[in-house]
Structure 1
């Protein structure tokens, strides 16, 4: 199947965005894809903030983007836009790093006031980077994502259904196994 790079643009170590992405990564794996998770917060701050294109971690990350068939980009929404951490990484990638890629944009936030951040802030950047196909993304309210006492993720039913649908659509474009074989998220 396809190689999927799953990128979390959250600066938080306890991020709901990252947890949600890892949850969806499992769904993509069940559909036959190889998934490589990338938490941007683990990249060296000096490379990101100093725009060090030659830093080994940035070179390695650019290579991951180049190898991927599809990219899932997840970000918390701050001030009606995607995270500055994600912006720092995107600025360091080659201009057309997403050429030929299928991209699934996802966002999380505290209010429905931020629901258009995907379409008005993130999608134009992904498009300018040459994405071949940006599938419809999804905005999930923070309150729809909870971490259980055992560390597992619980997603509110309506959000889980919508996320399963957009993830399955992304998977289908990449040639994944039919979603009917995979239980709902």
Structure 2
């Protein structure tokens, strides 16, 4: 199946955005895709902030994008926009790093007032980077992403169903199996 890079643009080590992405990564793996998680916060800060295009970690990250069929981009919403950390990575990637890629944008935030951040802040950047197909994204409220007693992400049922739909649309655009999986909610 497809090779996917699943990018968390959250600066937090206990990020709800990252939890949500790792939950969706597992669904994509069960659909037959190869998923590589990427947490931007683990890249060297001096390379990101110093715009060091030649830093080995940045070169390796650009290669991940180049080799991917699809990209899931997840970000917390701050001030009605995607995270500055995510922007620092996107600024270091080649201008058309998403050319020929199918992209699924996701965002998390504390209020539904930020729901349009995907369409008005993130989608234009993804489009300008050459994404061939940006599937409809999804905004999830922070309160809908928690941790279970075993440490695994728990997504509120209504959000989980919506996320399954957008994930399955993304998977179908990549040629994945979507009908074989039962709802996990």
Aligned-residue offset at 1:149: 2.2
1:116 is matched with 116
1:183 is matched with 182
Once residues 184 and 110 of structure 1 are traced to their aligned partners in structure 2, the CA distance between those partners, rounded to angstroms, is 26
The 3-state SS of whatever aligns with 1:184 is coil
Aligned-residue offset at 1:150: 1.4
The 3-state SS of whatever aligns with 2:38 is strand
Q: Does the alignment pair 1:163 with 2:155?
A: no
Q: Does the alignment pair 1:31 with 2:31?
A: yes
Once residues 62 and 95 of structure 2 are traced to their aligned partners in structure 1, the CA distance between those partners, rounded to angstroms, is 11
Q: In the TM superposition, what are the counterparts of 1:54-65 in structure 2 within 5 Å?
A: 54-65=54-65
2:79 is matched with 79
**Root-mean-square deviation over aligned CA pairs:** 0.6
Number of residues paired by the alignment?
184
Unpaired stretches in structure 1, ≥5 consecutive residues: none
Superimposed CA distance per residue, residues 27-51 of structure 1 (whole angstroms, 9 cap, x where no aligned partner):
0000010000000000000000000
Once residues 183 and 57 of structure 2 are traced to their aligned partners in structure 1, the CA distance between those partners, rounded to angstroms, is 35
Decide which moves more: 167-176 or 148-157.
Answer: 148-157
2:142 is matched with 142
Once residues 22 and 108 of structure 2 are traced to their aligned partners in structure 1, the CA distance between those partners, rounded to angstroms, is 14
Decide which moves more: 114-123 or 144-153.
Answer: 144-153
2:11 is matched with 11
Once residues 5 and 60 of structure 1 are traced to their aligned partners in structure 2, the CA distance between those partners, rounded to angstroms, is 12
1:50 is matched with 50
2:96 is matched with 96
How high is the TM-score relative to the length of structure 1?
0.98
Aligned-residue offset at 1:73: 0.1
Unpaired stretches in structure 2, ≥5 consecutive residues: none
Once residues 45 and 19 of structure 1 are traced to their aligned partners in structure 2, the CA distance between those partners, rounded to angstroms, is 22
